[in-house]
Amino acid sequence: MPVTADQQAEIDEQRAETHTTRRATVPGMEAHLYTAHPVLDHGFVRVIDYMGDDSAITQAARVSYGRGTKAVSNDEGLIRYLMRHWHSTPFEMCEIKLHVKLPVFVARQWIRHRTANVNEYSARYSILDREFYIPAPEDLAAQSVVNNQGRGEALQGEEAQRVLDWLRSDSDTAYDHYEAMISQDGQQGLARELARMNLPANIYTQWYWKVDLHNLFHFLRLRADAHAQMEIRVYAEKICEIVKDWVPLSYGAFEDYRLGGAQLSGKGIECLRRMLAGEDVTQETSGMSKGEWREFMGVVKIAS
């Protein structure tokens, strides 16, 4: 169960309250409010608050471009134009605040996105719960043999079992000692800020994370990508679903131009033109390195 009983009670109470507002309101997001969407074995994502909608973006763009934007007749066209031409400031006019529960090693990647506001649970002040991420057997991937960063096939048989046993037992031992060290029962009790150093990176933490839509899209482009580590990608994918309900036009443009798009180099464009002119271009004649050529082929590959 990813949410504690206390948290659930608080959520239920807040969920029951409704207010009247003159602010832009999105029914799809209201449905998400105060609902914890489970991610991984003990994690979740839930929307705490949001500001703006698709119209807030076009409204801001129309302040910037004034009468000039009247030519683009509708919101969808304008939003696609803004996304295509990297006009990022109108997307910054929307903001979202999420409550996320996630393993520490995922949090360490996540926090590298600096343009966001964060309040994390502090293990200096408070005691962490005994909750650890233990991968499902099918997610126990081997190191990739083709690159230093990726994953290969799932581990099999005894090796998989051994890994799971270690992850579980080391987590348990670490937490037992954490509890024993901070205990004030018959002893002084180690400071929390010190005792936490014994806890492994698969322990769960939680935070409030607030970010504008432009920076969220940047996060999602990198973290919902196939090359992202699976354990952060599942959070990004869940957030993608939420954003789709929040700003459907913007999300559609993001999906087409960013998630589903590709960046070509000058060399790539040159090769492309030669190929379209009928030339049979190879890596050797492309001027690209092997790595670049492989990625380029991934973009232009002709369905056979």
Stretch that binds its own copies, among 36-44, 105-113, 238-246 (CB under 8 A): 105-113
7 is known to lie in a ligand binding site: no
Binders in 150-209 for its own copies, by CB under 8 A:
150-153, 155-156, 159, 162-163, 166-167, 170, 173-174, 177, 180-182, 184, 187-194, 196-202, 206-208
Residue pair 21/61 in contact by the 8 Å Cβ criterion: no
Residues 6+ apart with CB under 8 A from 218: 113
Residue 114 known to bind ligand = yes
Q: Is 78 left (phi over 0), alpha (psi -120 to 50) or beta?
A: alpha
Is residue 223 among the annotated active site residues? yes
Cα–Cα distance between 215 and 17 in angstroms, integer?
A: 30
Interaction between residue 148 and its own copies (CB under 8 A): yes
The nearer residue to its own copies, 47 or 239, going by C-beta atoms, is 47
The answer to whether 248 contacts its own copies (rule: CB under 8 A) is no
Contact flags string 6-45 toward its own copies, x per CB under 8 A: --------xx-xxxxxxxxx----x--xx-----------
Is 219 among the residues that bind its own copies (CB under 8 A)? no
Of 36, 106, 93, which Cα lies nearest the Cα of 211? 93
Q: What SS3 class is residue 47?
A: strand
Instruction: For the CB of residue 1, give the shortest distance to its own copies in the complex, in Å.
Output: 19
Q: Kindly give, in sequence order, each residue whose CB lies less than 8 Å from that of residue 204, ignoring residues fewer than 6 positions away.
A: 42, 43, 101, 102, 103, 104, 128, 129, 131, 132, 133
Q: Which of 141, 233, 248, 283 binds its own copies (CB under 8 A)?
A: 141
Residues between 49 and 88 that touch its own copies (CB under 8 A): 49-52, 56, 59-61, 63-69, 71, 77, 80-81, 84, 86
Instruction: Name the token pair of 18.
Output: 């409704």
Spatial strand order in the sheet of 95-103? 37-39, 43-51, 95-103, 204-212, 117-120
Residues 264-293 that bind its own copies (CB under 8 A): 264-269, 272-273, 275-277, 289, 291-292
By CB under 8 A, name the one of 37, 41, 75, 229 that touches its own copies: 229
Q: Pick the catalytic residue: 151, 223, 258, 273? A: 223
The candidate with the shortest Cα–Cα distance to 260, out of 230, 299, 231, is 299
Return the amino acid letter for 267: K
Residue 222 has a CB neighbour count (10 Å cut-off) of: 16
Residues with a known catalytic role: 223
- Which residues line the annotated binding site for FAD? 89, 112-114, 120, 212-214, 218
